[in-house]
Structure 1
Amino acid sequence: MVGSVIQGPIVLNNLDTYVYQSWHGTLITIAVILFVVSFNTLLAVRLPLIEGLLLILHIGGLFAIIIPLWVMAPRGTVHNTLFKFTTTGGWSNLGLASLIGMVNPIGVLIGYDCSVHMSEEVQDASIVLPKALIWSVVPNGLMALVMGATFIFCIGDVDEVLASPTYEPFIQVFFNATQSYAGATIMTLIIMIMLTSACISEVATASRQLWSFARDGGVPFSGWLSHVSPGWNIPIRAVFVSVLISTLLSLINIGSYVALNAINSLGVVSLLFSYTVTISCLVWRRLYGAPLPPRPWSLGKYGLPINVISICFVTPLLFFAFWPVSANPDATGLNWSPVMFVSILVVALVYYVVWARHVYTGPVVLVKRDD
């Protein structure tokens, strides 16, 4: 995502000379990955300070984007923006098209669970992390509502925006509003920096998740991946494996953008499935299982209703996440996530039966650190 966003301003400022190429995006992606890994290794101890500064940019950047749109962008009418519904996917039923369309923005849920996987490096994690999640979801939800409302009222001609030579419709909206290459570039730069900071957090949490699962013997080469090198307070091997896999995946974009999207679609499906499994287990435990262990932070009597509402929200999204965006799609427009998802489950099941069940011991409760 960062790679393609970086390409956008390059196209915008060089319409007559720059030719958009997929391999350019791949090289930019690899450069971003190398940049991100430096933060997760050499500057790991500075991450809290850096994230704090980025939080200021995150909030200030919201106003730096919406104010120019409010002042300068063409304004849509309330009727056309809020009450006129259309579908371009060929679905005859507008309700069905709306449910399928909800899957695209649901990808923004990726990232909220990042802090959970860093719990072993947080003091009083059982209290701090729930509060951090709430303080992430509530303010960001409100800001997203403001940003979303602003964007749809200022989007202008949808067909023109979708046909943008930058391949990033939001960049075209910025330019149409400001009529300034510099202004649109600066507004895009804010998005670019925030997405890059999200990559830093994603690599950090992916490496910790890989390391903790390897520590429990749940992945191949667990002994090597779970090792923390002397002098490092981070699982540097897991960090490098995470970025290596990301780099290899980015190479797919050179051969087939459709194939890369097929793999990317697996992310949202897997995330929704993991939420469904974990919340369902919690609901079953609250209703029929042994009492939940004592914990310093709890939803109390509201826990079960919130869990049930969450299941009712996530389950339909998971179902429609397997649907294609358009009716009667060809091979390039097909939603390949069901094939990818089932394949991964089969591989995981075979690995578990053949090997993992003999070495996997379940989540480790207490870890002793050797001096």
Structure 2
Amino acid sequence: MNTTALPDMKPEERFSIEELDHEGKANATAKGGTPNDDREMHRMGKVQELRRNFKFLGIVGFVSILQSSWEGALQSSYFGLLNGGRGGIIWCTIAVWLFMLCLLASMAEMASMAPTAGGQYHWVSEFAPRKYQGSLSYVVGWCCCLGWISGVPACAYQLAGLVQAMILLVNPDADFVAPWKITLFLFLFLFLTVGFNIYFAGHLPLAEGIVLFLHVFAFFAFLLTLWIMADHAPAKEVFTTFYDGGGWGNKGLSCLVGLTSPIWCFIGPDAGAHMSEELKNASLQLPRAMIWATVANGVMGIAMIITFCFCITDLEQLLSLETDFPIINIIQNATGSFAGTCVLGSVLVILLFFSTVTTIASASRQTWAFSRDQGFPFSSWIRYVPPTWEIPLNALLVCLGVSLILGAINFGSNTAFNAITSVSNAALIFSYIISVGCIRLKRLRGEPLLPRRWSLGNWGGLINDLALAFLFVGFVFSFFPQGPAVGDPEWATNFNWAIIIFAGICLVAFVYYVLGGRKRYVAPVSLVKQE
């Protein structure tokens, strides 16, 4: 048995493999691991610091609640309806789901090979060409952390927007339109959801299982309410009518710009991977949970978006409302009751609250894992896990701080949600492109892959190719604004600032890497044991 180490690692930064051998096995057993978990952590040279509280049902609930596909279809539909209309958002949602299944299958296979909280950057470190293992995994680590952390304020913004929509529905004259008021609600939800992750972390698997049942039962409650009580548009109009509300001059281009909405409904298939060090028998249960959750979520999400579009009888009137969450008005029109609307709206708030909780959990684990490998400044502080808490407390505080900064964008622009969701989509998609690209390259070169308990077999190459083709399109259109800025005097307000945020974070990462990060960063492959 031997190990490899990066040539630019300082001696004091090289982990003692002998210590990891002993401590890793002991901790994995003491913290709920199985023999397979012991062996995989041992191979990756990692110490078991977190307790393995999750089992199969809990992780299915975790991934399902985080994606919240049918809830997302109702809550984040505005941008897709504006750019694409009813026909555009329906067909784009179906296409995105099918391609996401290819991406998910690719990532599930990698998760079975290396079930670690590091996820993409660890996989890139092991699967990339040897010359680029350190630098590529470093870039992917920063982008993955950006993608997950920026998803937190995006979820909190949706929570605040739903509350705003219900308030304006009941009291149209309420002074609750100003962006700063929504931002304060956003901050409130950030503190509440991070607090849940800190003080109720031990109950998170139980909570995910309970909310999973609410997720399923609420789906049928909304579906039946909208089908039975709402007025419906003709089927031909729903499936074949496209809309260019952004002013792109081409409905096909407009539909592509509107991809942000359906992608947001299915983004985060790697969520379970970042919890793999808290899952029992991860290399087998994690891929199965990822597949089951996304298949079920996709069916529910597509059924709900079709139902929702049937209930839109006047698209332009709906898009002219002061709120970006038209589902509240659709429910009120269907039920004719403010009380009934607020009850169903409150169910959406509860579900989205726990979706935000799970997003924070994934973001913190990703941040903790990357700091464990010295990827950030102050990594030794970020990676610290209080022994009595057994959660990455400091990483959670980092996620809270960065989310508050990103959420503050909403003070100056009412298009903040588009910018924040776009940068989350773009950063995560970039990490998917690199990780799937690395495994595809190994297949093209005929290089042996790591042993795995869940495999794509002979279909692996084709599935990887389909995933990559979709990811490139999604990455490009993640940076598009609602409409072209030519001749727009308020272009700065309507501009999609995601590209600036993404470029700025990449610049910070590059500067830190050049100024010393490359000497501190411990690429995961340097700890892997070649048996």
When normalised by structure 1's length, the TM-score is 0.93
Deviation at 1:167, TM superposition (A): 3.9
CA distance in 1 between partners of 2:416 and 2:246 (Å): 20
Aligned length: 367
CA distance in 2 between partners of 1:322 and 1:250 (Å): 18
Question: Could you tell me which of 335, 341, 344 is aligned with 1:184?
Answer: 341
Q: Select between 78-87 and 103-112 the one with higher mean Cα deviation.
A: 103-112
The residue aligned with 1:61 is 218
The residue aligned with 2:509 is 348
The residue aligned with 1:331 is 492
The residue aligned with 1:286 is 443
Equivalent residues of 2:371, 2:382 under 8 A apart: yes
CA distance in 2 between partners of 1:365 and 1:108 (Å): 36
Deviation at 1:99, TM superposition (A): 1.8
- Aligned amino acid, residue 67 of structure 1: L
The residue aligned with 1:265 is 422
CA distance in 1 between partners of 2:188 and 2:254 (Å): 38
The residue aligned with 1:362 is 523
- Aligned amino acid, residue 333 of structure 1: N
Question: Could you tell me which of 439, 446, 453 is aligned with 1:296?
Answer: 453
- Aligned amino acid, residue 246 of structure 1: S
> Which portions of structure 1, spanning 4 or more consecutive aligned residues, are displaced by more than 6 angstroms?
364-367
Equivalent residues of 1:112, 1:136 under 8 A apart: no
Deviation at 1:336, TM superposition (A): 2.7
Deviation at 1:366, TM superposition (A): 6.9
**Quick one: percent identity of the two aligned structures?**
40
Deviations 1:107-151 (A, max 9, x none): 123333211111111121111111111011100100011101100
Q: Select between 260-269 and 185-194 the one with higher mean Cα deviation.
A: 260-269
Q: Aligned pair in 2 of structure 1 residues 63, 122: CA closer, same or farther (>3 Å)? A: same
CA distance in 2 between partners of 1:104 and 1:334 (Å): 17
CA distance in 2 between partners of 1:248 and 1:318 (Å): 24
Q: Select between 102-111 and 292-301 the one with higher mean Cα deviation.
A: 102-111
CA distance in 2 between partners of 1:231 and 1:207 (Å): 18
CA RMSD of aligned residues (A): 1.9
CA distance in 2 between partners of 1:114 and 1:335 (Å): 26
Aligned pair 1:126/2:283, yes or no? yes
Structure 1: gaps (5+ residues): none
Correspondence list, 1:144-183, <5 A: 144-183=301-340
Structure possessing the higher relative contact order (Cα contacts under 8 Å, 6 or more residues apart): 2
- Aligned amino acid, residue 353 of structure 1: V
Task: State the SS of the aligned residue for 2:329.
Answer: helix
Task: State the SS of the aligned residue for 2:494.
Answer: coil
Equivalent residues of 2:413, 2:493 under 8 A apart: no
Correspondence list, 1:172-321, <5 A: 172-258=329-415, 261-288=418-445, 290-321=447-478
When normalised by structure 2's length, the TM-score is 0.66
Aligned pair 1:110/2:267, yes or no? yes
Q: Aligned pair in 2 of structure 1 residues 55, 151: CA closer, same or farther (>3 Å)? A: same
Deviation at 1:234, TM superposition (A): 0.6
Q: Select between 166-175 and 145-154 the one with higher mean Cα deviation.
A: 166-175
Q: Aligned pair in 2 of structure 1 residues 157, 324: CA closer, same or farther (>3 Å)? A: same
Deviation at 1:261, TM superposition (A): 4.3
Deviation at 1:32, TM superposition (A): 1.5
Structure 2: gaps (5+ residues): 1-157
